[in-house]
């Protein structure tokens, strides 16, 4: 984590007060309640201990479409009324697309979705399964947005922007209203920031209800345009900070702040943090192992900021928004395996056994007696210098940790095996 940048305020240009006042939050709640869930707020003891004050998780990963995006989509479509008869067009890396497609199917509307060429396969399939037509456009969400806007105009269809729309922002604000009701002494909200619609909506809800809770945004370090545009000298004219469009948090990989969301967040955010790819991966694993919540990269970055332990303790509770759980299962599996290796619970051991009946069985019996689990085993005869009556063996073991691994190695050595870790 690169640290918390304080947001420079006030900024005269782009005063968001008019948009904040115009947001019809009661209407948004009615629209969102049609299909979206009121997701739980889950306490997390380990994060609370680390933060020095209570921490709760707003589990939007349990939302009906797997992310908070259904809120904004429903409110935007409700605001269109009969204007949606020609169908809906949108652009997204996945979560917003899935939300619009889900809402469109529920309301009997046609839906066309523009997605970046490298959008996660699981998200593409999820959108198609809802009956939407997927079109691949460009390498980034920004490029897909440009093509989607043009296509909507040409077809006379209604465009549903993923974040830079007053009705979408008002829909996301319903999450903030739920937080105020469920956590009455709320002191801070940590929220992922991609295009900024969720953070802006939560901020509007907090301020409209008179809450002084801190609002902290988090972006992926590799794609952090708001982090550059909101803080530091001359922030208004700062160039977006985008080191790479490839991040494990693909759901927040938006290169440019929104026309509406940038001035809103200048007025609403108290700070902006960025997190590294490793910190995001660690947060995904933490959520899966410790809280049993499945989060995608974008959904885990608020927790990543807490795990980095650079946010000051507060007197009241902090809520970290786990904004989405639509992660590719292969990616999550690889992260969990990597974590096991880093923790010393998954190790690869090389040794030799006599090339005779029972030679391998003796080795495996010894390992079983030490309560280590054999995950895979491979014989190697050609690639290493061996006695004609020996076979090299490569074992992948699951152990209880480094101490248990040392016990296994010591026991192997005591029985005459020359064993080494990979």
Whether residue 218 contacts residue 274, with contact meaning beta carbons closer than 8 Å, is answered with: yes
Do 124 and 115 contact (CB within 8 A), yes or no?
A: yes
286 alpha-carbon distance from chain centroid: 12
Is residue 401 within 8 Å of residue 343, measured between CB atoms?
yes
Distances, alpha carbon 175 to alpha carbons 33, 169, 189, 234, in Å: 11, 11, 11, 32
Paired sense of beta strands 346-354 and 318-322, if any: unpaired
> Chain centroid to CA 263: how far?
24
69 an active-site residue?
yes
Choosing from 53, 69, 211, 231, the catalytic residue is 69
Of the CA atoms within 13 Å of residue 368, those in its CB half-sphere come to 6
Is 123 among the catalytic positions?
no
Alpha carbon distance 365, 368 (integer Å): 5
Q: Exposed, middle or buried, 105 (CB in 10 Å: 0-12/13-18/19+)?
A: middle
Triad 33, 38, 42: Cα angle to 5°:
170
CA–CA separation, 321 vs 337, rounded Å? 25
Question: ω before 147 within 30° of 0 (cis)?
Answer: no
Contact 91, 139 (CB under 8 A): no
Give dist(CA 192, CA 143) in Å, integer: 22
Question: Six-digit token pair at 377?
Answer: 């085993």
- For the record, the structure tokens of 26 come out as 């009661």
| 3-state secondary structure at position 415 | coil
Question: How many whole angstroms separate alpha carbon 302 and alpha carbon 148?
Answer: 29
Strands 55-59 and 318-322 turn out to be: parallel
- Write out the catalytic residue numbers: 69, 323
């Amino acid at each position: 984590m690169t640290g918390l940048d304080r947001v420079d305020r006030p900024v005269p240009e782009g005063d968001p007060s008019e948009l904040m006042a115009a947001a019809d939050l009661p209407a948004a709640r009615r629209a969102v309640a049609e299909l979206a869930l009121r997701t739980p707020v889950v306490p997390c003891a380990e994060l609370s201990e680390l933060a020095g004050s209570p921490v709760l998780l707003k589990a939007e990963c349990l939302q009906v479409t797997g992310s908070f995006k259904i809120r904004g989509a429903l409110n935007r479509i409700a605001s269109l009324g009969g204007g949606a008869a020609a169908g809906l067009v949108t652009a997204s890396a996945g979560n917003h697309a899935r939300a619009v497609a889900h809402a469109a199917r529920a309301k009997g509307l046609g839906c066309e979705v523009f997605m970046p060429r490298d959008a996660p396969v699981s998200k593409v399939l999820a959108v198609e399964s809802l009956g939407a037509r997927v079109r691949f456009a460009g390498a980034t969400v920004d490029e897909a947005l440009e093509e989607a806007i043009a296509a909507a105009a040409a077809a006379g269809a209604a465009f549903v922007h993923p974040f830079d729309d007053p009705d979408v922002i008002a829909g996301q604000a319903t999450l903030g209203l739920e937080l105020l009701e469920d956590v009455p002494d709320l002191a801070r909200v940590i929220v992922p920031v991609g295009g900024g619609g969720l953070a802006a909506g939560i901020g509007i809800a907090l301020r409209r209800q008179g809450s002084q809770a801190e609002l902290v945004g988090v972006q992926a370090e590799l794609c952090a345009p708001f982090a550059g545009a909101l803080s530091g000298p001359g922030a208004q004219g700062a160039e977006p900070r985008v080191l790479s469009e490839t991040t494990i948090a693909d759901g927040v990989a938006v290169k440019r702040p929104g026309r509406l969301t940038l001035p809103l967040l200048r007025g609403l955010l108290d700070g902006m943090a960025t997190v590294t790819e490793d910190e995001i991966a660690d947060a995904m694993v933490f959520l899966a192992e410790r809280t049993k919540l499945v989060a995608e990269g974008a959904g885990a970055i608020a927790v990543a900021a807490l795990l980095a332990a650079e946010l000051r303790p507060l007197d009241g509770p902090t809520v970290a928004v786990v904004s989405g759980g639509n992660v590719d299962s292969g990616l999550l599996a690889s992260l969990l395996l990597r974590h096991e290796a880093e923790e010393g619970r998954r190790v690869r051991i090389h040794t030799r056994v006599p090339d005779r009946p029972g030679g391998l069985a003796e080795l495996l019996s010894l390992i079983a007696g030490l309560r280590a689990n054999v995950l895979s085993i491979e014989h190697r005869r050609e690639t290493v210098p061996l006695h004609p009556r020996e076979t090299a063996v490569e074992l992948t073991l699951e152990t209880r940790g480094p101490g248990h691994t040392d016990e296994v190695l010591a026991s192997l050595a005591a029985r005459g095996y020359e064993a080494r870790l990979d």
